[in-house]
């Protein structure tokens, strides 16, 4: 039976003769056990502070269905995205690879057509896409914001990319370090990529695909001013691969859009305004990560009295759903401070400071030089964030 | 990319020039965060003591795929079942209802053919089935252990059932209280059901379907000696509907088989040797529930010294994955005992007893009259289980 | 060793000869596993919308330490309260009951004196209190906002209460239904309680103590305009008795104060502005529960188009840390709506509505008559809350 | 009120006039929500396979109470240990450090005397101990199996150790790398330690204390044939410092005893038969870790057919409460195998193997050379464990 309808009704056998009232009560009790949250559709919002002037949209632009080599119906991708707190997705089934062809109609526009209605009722931005699936070079590319996926299914990969561009697509290179095409796991840049880049036909690259992050590719994006992307490339149901509640969330491309609609997402991607979310890390340009950190990391008290070499502390609130992990990268003038400070999402911790023997007296701002180890502005480089504390030093 | 292959390889970009060694280390650390359990295939065994002489197999004989109105590929049902600790399943797509017909080939043998290889490599018993989907009466019936599902797709429901029987099927009535066919939620028995019963064409009934239990139907099964069944009737990915770790497990039919193979399951179903598992409750005939309880509920100490009106206690271990909830249904001779005792799965609790003022002295067995509230031998009737404690009564 | 200091340092043996570099790396990896959140002090804020004009303070005015029959040092109560998101507490050790007297100094001012420094550095309001512990009648009473607990330790209970009042105390009756003093579990009102009430010496009563709620007492409070209190009466470490993360939070008295300080708490208690939080339920006067519900239950879209008898839905966000459970108590004009709606804390659910056959066309507000089953304005009486949806009815 | 008594009774106000029957029902429902597991005493057994010939006892020989600088009453340590699955503990309050002296009687035998009754009723082995707390050198030492702690409280540390020895104590050095006595975090061996070692007055050392592991100290123990110890050194309530359910368990010394009693523990400690459990790692001598691994890591099928370069797999069950993390340290003849294999506690995973191009045909055992990364037989050295798989190689 259909579970949506189920919610509206309830077994009523207890009213019938032959079943005692006390028995019925027992069942009522039993029926409610564990039912509380089993409503079919619950959305877990994902809270990340935005960059002033933009709305931050949680997106995933790479996923599959039974229409290529995935194992779910297109509507599942919409349901999963809504439940997982996403704002925009693209289904991007392989154009050239259709292992279910004997059972499932080969039409690359169907996934979009089938799921568009659900996306619309849920208020999810649903972007038409497809994966151009070729041997390396140039490998796999996603084209999103297209109009007719089937017209991209042509023999020559250059013609396929050109057709995508002609349809107004945003085009990006998928998983350059995938061992299916890079047996030694090394991401390699071929002349074909230079060709695409120079023609404006490669506007971004996945620096994160599924469970992998490619530092070399991150560097390429910075050097060539390309859009950073982090996508799930899901084939299975989302819960088979990820468990956000257990600390293993799906990757997302966070898009800083001027407007919360398709056009806004498109413009933001073209303008390189993205942050990649992967395994609790945020990866992006410093100009975007700094305000995100500022919005999340909040001193609940900005003044502290430091008496001799006593301990004192400042409460810090992490007003986001992303844990923040800080480590010290220098000295704090007059204070001993923790070498590391972990601020769990949505919780308050104490930043404990101890006066140095020679801190003198008087009032001044002490800037504690921390690096945020899980906010990466370049491969291997965390965001530097000075934490200013107004100290009253007394004896 | 394909996640199975992924496990065998790892990104190796760090060895390349331009990325510093320290950065590489940081990434190694990061890469391991949260990865521990993300291997694609982990099976959570479900431990329930068996009835001596039989192997207890966890089964689900009712579920759907994209080949009728489900939203997953047939292999997903096999993966889910293996991961969830099941031993045997049947995919039972609707014969007469095919809303995806425009996109998915209409062939009711395909789900079995597509997933049989995976089931075999995982060691899962995979039973060919189909759902005969008719208006009420007689409603929906599952036929399992069939040979050719397509041959059941005929106009007359009686001919469909006869064909199933001719193929050697085990046939059961699905969700008699489903509000889709019983708008007032009341399970109704029609002359057609008497007809099927008398012809031996209805060998069992679902007393549990999805999230619902039908006490009236439970009663019918007891009165007519029919096989009790509890099935998920899943259309969505399993995790969309259930979360075993959070206390909301999928329903199962526990089959007490003489042999752990298809023939064993078939024989056990014909012989009515099943227990239904639903929302933490076990529902079945007393002869089966009693040994299951006995295997799970274990006194770790069987003797206790009761001094005057002091408290004493006996540790009780629940050696199963099913919580046990007991309530007192009488008096314990010479002792005050807890009115209720909850024994969480796999844990030890103290059964605390207090001497009565007039318990006398000497040694004797005190039988504490408990009812196991979540082991149901009939609608509204828990298993009565005396807990014997050998007491040394002293002053 | 002391764990606070520990955070500042780290084992450095790896630098020593004899331990290889690779080994060291292994240990670094290992050392970080699971350490992320083990900092000693993490506070989990508890988000409940407040009533406009007041700050909502989470309080617990009843708990014990080793100075009477508790098993923790006074500072533990402060640490637990801070970590648990509380804003104000009172330690209220028994004046007349001191089972640890042979080992622990009998001085009822010591708990306050010992823990006041920690409370102050953590920013927790810490109120001096004591439990006047007498036989029934009148039973146990807490006096908080006192100045010298030891002076309340006198033979005559009336003199003890008078002394508390003379010190400016807020005085309330504890656990009137406690089976230690009410063997049959029935809360009984004695002439002594009338005496205290009339003299203004009983300003509130615990309607919740530890794991119990007393509906009869709730009724008394409403009839006599007394302050509703919900306290933990903890003797053990908090985690022994409660597990908020697993859905079993400690009880709290939510105080609606004009100022977030001791005087504010005192004034609010005298003015009866409290809400009791117990096992996920909020219990209080309608004038307070209504704005709390309004602040938490938010329609994310207020207009919906209802086409014929199709389904449509409105997303609802529960902007609080308290689940909300609604059930229908009437008809919604023109719509079929869910009989029950559970809104988990901090999540979004869909309120699905279906057009009735005869809903007509046009635009109008439909008010769905829900009762909030876990917000209680009187014993057995949930808050009635109409949910208004602006509907565009079309064919 | 007292929570043990509470379990036996229940609020009965609903029977009184003035409260309607329906209201009462509502409360019954509400009262049960979340109560299921709140019984005060639940023990979570900790399953680790033992070494044949010995019983494996989970122990912690270092913890504090209010009688020195801890913050809990002695009975709390017993309750915590029982609930946490431990079999034996020693409370070891500081002899020379008593910051609560103004409030708590200074008698180092009291912790044992106070909690011995509870330990006995719970069946916990409870060993009398104390911490000899001196400046470095020689630092802090625990003496357990003593008879009168107070007699160890003498000025000269050598006389204190001698007195412990005279009482038959097992004596071990605590936390040699503690930064409170080693400001640079480096564990240092002083002539005093040689003196104690040579006199037989230092029989073991903590290689794990609280959240720290000291690899250098581990090496010392191996070189000097000393007993390896891992203790919690708890001062706070256990749940403040650890959360086993969230993957942060308390450290334990696993003792391989000939008999499950105090004498058995003592003999095993003297004979160096211990394994340290710390953050999911087992640290001990190879002769003990090998059978533990063998008891936990179980191939559920020992034969596999390898067809050409196809994938095949073997199910592996981890029959223990400790996750096992394996990594490849060589080549498997004829097979490609996973570089890493994580076997979560109590679950089954698939060990997937792929035939090499040139594996030939025929049947043979292939030994896969794995290292168990979280079973340490020396600092930085995992247990090497060949996994034998019987392969049928076919074309």
DSSP annotation string for B212-280? EE-HHHHHHHHHHT-EEEEE--B-S-HHHH-BGGGTBPPPEEEEEESSSSHHHHHHHHHTT-EEEEETT
Contact present, D130 and D111 (Cβ < 8 Å): no
Q: In the prediction, which pLDDT does A152 show?
A: 98
Look at residue C6 and tell me whether its pLDDT is greater than 60: no
More confident residue, B311 or D9: B311
How far is it, in rounded angstroms, from Cα C158 to Cα C152?
Answer: 10
The tokens describing A312, both together, are 């004192």
Q: In the prediction, which pLDDT does D365 show?
A: 96
User: Where do the structural domains in chain D lie, given as residue ranges?
Assistant: 1-29, 44-284, 297-394
Look at residue D58 and tell me whether its pLDDT is greater than 80: yes
Number of H helices, E strands in chain A: 10, 21
pLDDT tens profile B261-294? 999 999 999 999 999 999 999 999 999 999 999 9
Distance of residue A6 Cα from the nearest chain C Cα, in angstroms: 10
Question: C-alpha angle with apex C40: C36 to C42, nearest 5 degrees?
Answer: 75
Please state the ipTM of this predicted complex: 0.89
The verdict on whether omega for the bond into residue D137 sits within 30 degrees of 0, i.e. cis, is yes
Residue window 107-126, chain C: list those with CB within 8 Å of chain D: 107, 110, 114
- Which fold, B44-284? TIM Barrel (3.20.20)
Q: What is the pairing mode between strands A88-91 and D227-231?
A: unpaired
**C258-282 average pLDDT score:** 98
pLDDT tens profile A34-58? 333 334 589 999 999 999 999 999 9
Contact present, D138 and D173 (Cβ < 8 Å): yes
Contact present, A205 and A173 (Cβ < 8 Å): yes
How far is it, in rounded angstroms, from Cα B171 to Cα B193?
Answer: 12
Q: Tally the C-alpha atoms within 13 A of residue A142's C-alpha that lie toward its C-beta.
A: 28
Q: In the prediction, which pLDDT does D269 show?
A: 98
Decide if A327 touches C, using CB distance below 8 A.
Answer: no
The verdict on whether omega for the bond into residue A137 sits within 30 degrees of 0, i.e. cis, is yes
How far is it, in rounded angstroms, from Cα C235 to Cα C69?
Answer: 7
Distance of residue C211 Cα from the nearest chain A Cα, in angstroms: 19
Q: Which residues of chain B fall short of a pLDDT of 50?
A: 1-39
Look at residue A242 and tell me whether its pLDDT is greater than 80: yes
Confidence of residue C160 (pLDDT cuts 50, 70, 90): very high
The tokens describing A146, both together, are 């297209």
Distance of residue A124 Cα from the nearest chain D Cα, in angstroms: 34
Q: Is the CB of C37 less than 8 angstroms away from the CB of A344?
A: yes
Contact present, A273 and A253 (Cβ < 8 Å): no
What subunits touch chain B, counting only 3 or more CB pairs under 8 A? A, C, D
Partners of C217 on chain D (C-beta within 8 Å) are: 13
Closest residue on chain A to B180 (Cα):
A1
Q: Tally the C-alpha atoms within 13 A of residue B148's C-alpha that lie toward its C-beta.
A: 6
- In sequence order, the 6+-apart residues with CB closer than 8 A to the CB of D166 are none
Q: In what helix (H) or strand (E) does residue A282 lie, and over which residues does it extend? A: strand A281-284
What are the φ and ψ backbone dihedral angles of C97, each rounded to 5 degrees?
A: -130, 115
Decide if B246 touches C, using CB distance below 8 A.
Answer: no
* Mean pLDDT rounded to a whole number for chain C: 90
CA distances in angstroms from B373 to A23, A30, A104, B254, listed in the order given: 11, 10, 48, 19
Q: What is the pairing mode between strands A227-231 and A204-209?
A: parallel
The tokens describing C139, both together, are 């039973």
What are the φ and ψ backbone dihedral angles of B55, each rounded to 5 degrees?
A: -95, 135
How far is it, in rounded angstroms, from Cα B248 to Cα A167?
Answer: 47
Q: What is the pairing mode between strands C311-318 and C303-307?
A: unpaired
- How many C-beta atoms surround the C-beta of residue D244 within 10 A? 16
Confidence of residue D184 (pLDDT cuts 50, 70, 90): confident
What subunits touch chain D, counting only 3 or more CB pairs under 8 A? A, B, C
Decide if B349 touches D, using CB distance below 8 A.
Answer: yes
**C19-47 average pLDDT score:** 49
Look at residue D259 and tell me whether its pLDDT is greater than 90: yes
Closest residue on chain A to D33 (Cα):
A33
Distance of residue D332 Cα from the nearest chain C Cα, in angstroms: 24
Partners of B15 on chain A (C-beta within 8 Å) are: 186
Decide if C32 touches A, using CB distance below 8 A.
Answer: no
Decide if A147 touches C, using CB distance below 8 A.
Answer: no
How far is it, in rounded angstroms, from Cα D369 to Cα D385?
Answer: 6
Q: In the prediction, which pLDDT does A183 show?
A: 83
Look at residue D241 and tell me whether its pLDDT is greater than 70: yes
Decide if C212 touches D, using CB distance below 8 A.
Answer: yes
Look at residue C119 and tell me whether its pLDDT is greater than 80: yes
* Mean pLDDT rounded to a whole number for chain D: 90
Confidence of residue D233 (pLDDT cuts 50, 70, 90): very high
Q: Which of A11, A72, A75 sits opposite B212 (nearest CB)?
A: A11
The tokens describing C138, both together, are 């009148």
Count the residues in chain D.
395
Count the residues in chain B.
395
Q: Which of C8, C39, C313 sits opposite A339 (nearest CB)?
A: C8
Decide if D37 touches A, using CB distance below 8 A.
Answer: no
Partners of D25 on chain A (C-beta within 8 Å) are: 25
Q: In the prediction, which pLDDT does C289 show?
A: 98
Q: In sequence order, which ranges of chain C are alpha helices (DSSP H)?
A: 3-6, 21-32, 74-83, 110-122, 157-166, 191-198, 215-224, 238-241, 262-270, 286-296
- Which class does domain A297-394 fall in? mainly beta
Q: Is the CB of B36 less than 8 angstroms away from the CB of D301?
A: no
Beta-bridged to residue D371, according to DSSP, are D327, D384
Distance of residue B34 Cα from the nearest chain C Cα, in angstroms: 10
Partners of B213 on chain A (C-beta within 8 Å) are: 11, 27, 30-31
* Mean pLDDT rounded to a whole number for chain A: 90
Contact present, B321 and B346 (Cβ < 8 Å): yes
Strands (E) located in C6-86: 42-43, 55-60
Q: What is the pairing mode between strands B348-355 and D42-43?
A: antiparallel
Q: Is the CB of C72 less than 8 angstroms away from the CB of D380?
A: no
Confidence of residue D27 (pLDDT cuts 50, 70, 90): very low
The tokens describing A252, both together, are 């997302």
Confidence of residue A266 (pLDDT cuts 50, 70, 90): very high
Contact present, C171 and C200 (Cβ < 8 Å): no
Residue linked to tokens 């439990």: C131
Decide if C103 touches D, using CB distance below 8 A.
Answer: yes
Distance of residue A282 Cα from the nearest chain D Cα, in angstroms: 24
How far is it, in rounded angstroms, from Cα C306 to Cα A177?
Answer: 49
How far is it, in rounded angstroms, from Cα D388 to Cα D314?
Answer: 11
pLDDT tens profile A121-163? 999 999 999 999 999 999 999 999 999 999 999 999 999 999 9
Decide if D32 touches A, using CB distance below 8 A.
Answer: yes
Q: In the prediction, which pLDDT does D40 show?
A: 55
Q: In the prediction, which pLDDT does A245 show?
A: 87
Question: What percentage of chain A carries pLDDT values higher than 70?
Answer: 90
Decide if A246 touches D, using CB distance below 8 A.
Answer: no
Question: What percentage of chain A carries pLDDT values higher than 90?
Answer: 85
Partners of C32 on chain B (C-beta within 8 Å) are: 29
Q: Which of C81, C67, C139 is nearest to C109 (CA)?
A: C67
How far is it, in rounded angstroms, from Cα D317 to Cα B85?
Answer: 12
For A393, left (φ over 0), alpha (ψ -120 to 50), or beta?
Answer: beta
Q: In the prediction, which pLDDT does C184 show?
A: 85
Q: In the prediction, which pLDDT does C10 show?
A: 27
Q: Which of A27, A100, A186 sits opposite B13 (nearest CB)?
A: A186
- In sequence order, the 6+-apart residues with CB closer than 8 A to the CB of A383 are A286, A289, A290, A293, A371, A372, A375, A376, A377
Look at residue C268 and tell me whether its pLDDT is greater than 80: yes
Strands (E) located in B55-186: 55-60, 88-91, 125-133, 140-144, 170-173
Partners of D110 on chain C (C-beta within 8 Å) are: 103
Q: Is the CB of B8 less than 8 angstroms away from the CB of D123?
A: no
Q: In the prediction, which pLDDT does B132 show?
A: 98
pLDDT tens profile D97-155? 999 999 999 999 999 999 999 999 999 999 999 999 999 999 999 999 999 999 999 99
The tokens describing B42, both together, are 């982990």
How far is it, in rounded angstroms, from Cα A49 to Cα C25?
Answer: 35
Q: Is the CB of A323 less than 8 angstroms away from the CB of C352?
A: no
Confidence of residue C277 (pLDDT cuts 50, 70, 90): very high
Distance of residue B43 Cα from the nearest chain A Cα, in angstroms: 12
Q: In the prediction, which pLDDT does C40 show?
A: 55
Decide if D361 touches C, using CB distance below 8 A.
Answer: no
**A386-393 average pLDDT score:** 95
Partners of D348 on chain B (C-beta within 8 Å) are: 42-45
Q: Among A29, A183, A357, which would you mutate to test the D interface (most chain D Cβ atoms within 10 Å of its Cβ)?
A: A29
């Amino acid at each position: 039976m259909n579970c949506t309808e189920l919610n509206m009704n309830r077994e009523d056998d207890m009213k019938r003769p032959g079943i005692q009232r006390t028995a019925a009560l027992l069942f009522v009790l039993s029926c409610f056990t564990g039912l509380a949250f089993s409503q079919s559709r619950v959305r877990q919002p994902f809270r990340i502070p935005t960059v002033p002037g933009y709305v931050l949209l949680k997106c995933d632009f790479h996923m599959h269905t039974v229409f290529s080599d995935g194992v779910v119906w297109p509507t599942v991708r919409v349901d999963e995205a809504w439940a997982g707190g996403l704002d925009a997705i693209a289904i991007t089934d392989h154009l050239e690879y259709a292992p279910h062809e004997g059972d499932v109609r080969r039409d690359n526009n169907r996934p979009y057509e089938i799921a568009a209605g659900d996306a619309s009722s849920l208020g999810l931005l649903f972007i038409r896409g497809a994966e151009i699936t070729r041997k390396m070079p140039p490998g796999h590319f996603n084209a999103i914001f297209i109009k007719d996926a089937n017209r991209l299914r042509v023999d020559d990969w250059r013609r396929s990319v050109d057709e995508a561009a002609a349809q107004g697509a945003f085009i990006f290179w998928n998983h350059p370090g995938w061992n299916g095409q890079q047996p030694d796991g090394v991401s390699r840049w071929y002349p074909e990529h230079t060709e695409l880049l120079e023609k404006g036909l490669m506007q971004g690259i996945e620096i994160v695909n599924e469970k992998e992050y490619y530092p070399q590719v991150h560097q390429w994006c910075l050097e060539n001013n390309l859009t950073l992307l982090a996508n799930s490339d899901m084939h299975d149901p989302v819960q088979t691969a990820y468990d956000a509640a257990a600390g293993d969330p799906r990757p997302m491309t966070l898009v800083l859009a001027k407007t919360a609609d398709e056009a806004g997402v498109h413009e933001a991607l073209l303008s390189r305004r993205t942050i990649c979310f992967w395994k609790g890390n945020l990866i992006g340009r410093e100009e975007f990560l700094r305000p995100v950190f500022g919005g999340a990391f909040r001193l609940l008290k900005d003044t502290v009295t430091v008496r001799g070499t006593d301990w004192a502390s400042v409460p810090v609130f992490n007003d986001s759903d992303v844990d923040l992990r800080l480590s010290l990268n220098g000295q704090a003038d007059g204070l001993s401070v923790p070498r590391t400070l972990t601020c769990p999402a949505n919780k308050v911790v104490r930043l404990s400071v101890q006066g140095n023997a020679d801190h003198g007296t008087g009032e001044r701002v002490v800037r504690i030089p921390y690096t945020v180890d899980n906010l990466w502005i370049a491969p291997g480089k965390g965001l530097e964030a000075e934490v200013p504390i107004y100290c009253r030093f007394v004896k």
